[in-house]
């Protein structure tokens, strides 16, 4: 019985045959991707290859033209789906502008858990303080975002996303807008989340992070997954010429 359970448990995310065009131009051309529980999948690829669009279709910020996306077996691309309820199951952090500027750190991070998930203020704040303590920002909980460095803001944004206990975390270029000195502290927090068992789909240009922290790497090229694999195999011996060229351009740059 238990053996059957493991084989029948759906992955956290299942993307099947997803297509998306903008104004007649194909941006995603048949994406298939599975992410199992506790896996960290890193999507890489040149600018314009469709990485952000893929994340947006999963968060229902963009509707797919064709194909299906399942969250723990639920078809979230079904037009009858409740968009807010799907979004409440997914945590999202973007490159920048993640925090509400008019709310303090503590209000920023507890707002969703209180308003969307109905957690009592005391309970939400206690948990938020534990996380802020862990990332060294407990002293800043009454501050407004403009008093924080970019790296601190992104760590607060990540804490905000995980306090809602999302089934899936989408991180889109969360370190791209940061001073290089601040990138490490944000990526360290992502490593902590991985250790804590989070299921993550992220895009990044930080290849050393992808190599050391990802369970699986996918390379997008013109809207298709051209190559994918475990990081050691993927980075150690990429096979597609496009992958090699992309990686060598990064090293050259």
Ligand X SMILES: Nc1ncnc2c1ncn2[C@@H]1O[C@H](COP(=O)(O)OP(=O)(O)OP(=O)(O)O)[C@@H](O)[C@H]1O
Three-state SS annotation for 83-150: HHHHHCCEEEECCCCCCCCCCCHHHHHHHHHHHCCCCCHHHHHHHHHHHHHHCCCHHHCCCCHHHCCH
* Binding region for Mg ion (CB under 5 A) out of 47-55, 65-73, 96-104, 178-186: 47-55
Tokens describing residue 186: 């944000």
Rule CB under 6 A: choose which of 12, 13, 18, 27 binds ligand X: 27
Does the footprint of ligand X cover residue 73 (CB under 6 A)? no
Does the footprint of ligand X cover residue 47 (CB under 6 A)? yes
- What is the C-alpha separation between 128 and 107, in angstroms, rounded? 10
Does the footprint of ligand X cover residue 136 (CB under 6 A)? no
For the CB of residue 49, give the shortest distance to ligand X in the complex, in Å.
4
Coil, strand, or helix at residue 8?
helix
Does the footprint of ligand X cover residue 57 (CB under 6 A)? no
* Binding region for Mg ion (CB under 5 A) out of 45-53, 125-133, 156-164, 229-237: 45-53
Of 37 and 95, which CB lies nearer to ligand X in the complex structure?
A: 95
Residue 224, CB half-sphere, CA atoms under 13 Å: how many? 7
Tokens describing residue 5: 């359970």
Does the footprint of ligand X cover residue 175 (CB under 6 A)? no
Does the footprint of Mg ion cover residue 52 (CB under 5 A)? yes
Does the footprint of Mg ion cover residue 175 (CB under 5 A)? no
Cβ atoms of 77 and 64 within 8 Å: the answer is yes
For the CB of residue 225, give the shortest distance to ligand X in the complex, in Å.
12
- What is the C-alpha separation between 53 and 58, in angstroms, rounded? 9
Rule CB under 6 A: choose which of 31, 33, 53, 171 binds ligand X: 53
Please report, as ranges, the residues that interact with ligand X according to CB under 6 A.
Answer: 22, 27, 45, 47-53, 173
């Amino acid at each position: 019985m238990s053996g059957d359970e493991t084989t029948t448990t759906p992955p956290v995310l299942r993307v099947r045959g997803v297509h998306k065009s903008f104004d007649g131009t194909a941006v995603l051309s048949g994406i298939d991707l599975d992410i199992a529980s506790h896996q960290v999948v890193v999507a890489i690829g040149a600018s314009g290859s469709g990485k952000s669009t893929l994340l947006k279709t999963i968060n229902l910020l963009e509707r797919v033209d064709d194909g299906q996306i399942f969250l723990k077996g639920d078809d979230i691309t079904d037009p009858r789906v409740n968009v807010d309820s799907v979004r409440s199951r997914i945590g999202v952090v973007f490159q920048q502008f993640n925090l509400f500027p008019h709310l303090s750190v503590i209000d920023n991070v507890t707002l969703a858990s209180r308003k969307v998930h109905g957690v009592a203020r005391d309970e939400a704040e206690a948990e938020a303080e534990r996380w802020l303590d862990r990332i060294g920002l407990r002293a800043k909980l009454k501050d407004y975002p403009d008093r924080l460095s970019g790296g601190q803001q992104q760590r607060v944004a990540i804490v905000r996303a995980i306090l809602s206990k999302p089934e899936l975390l989408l991180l889109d270029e969360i370190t791209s807008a940061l001073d290089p000195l601040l990138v490490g502290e944000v990526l360290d927090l992502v490593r902590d989340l991985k250790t804590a068992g989070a299921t993550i789909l992220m895009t990044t240009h930080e290849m050393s992070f992808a190599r050391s922290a990802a369970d699986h790497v996918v390379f997008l090229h013109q809207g298709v997954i051209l190559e994918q694999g475990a990081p050691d195999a993927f980075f150690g011996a990429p096979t597609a010429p496009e992958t090699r060229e992309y990686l060598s351009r990064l090293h050259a740059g």
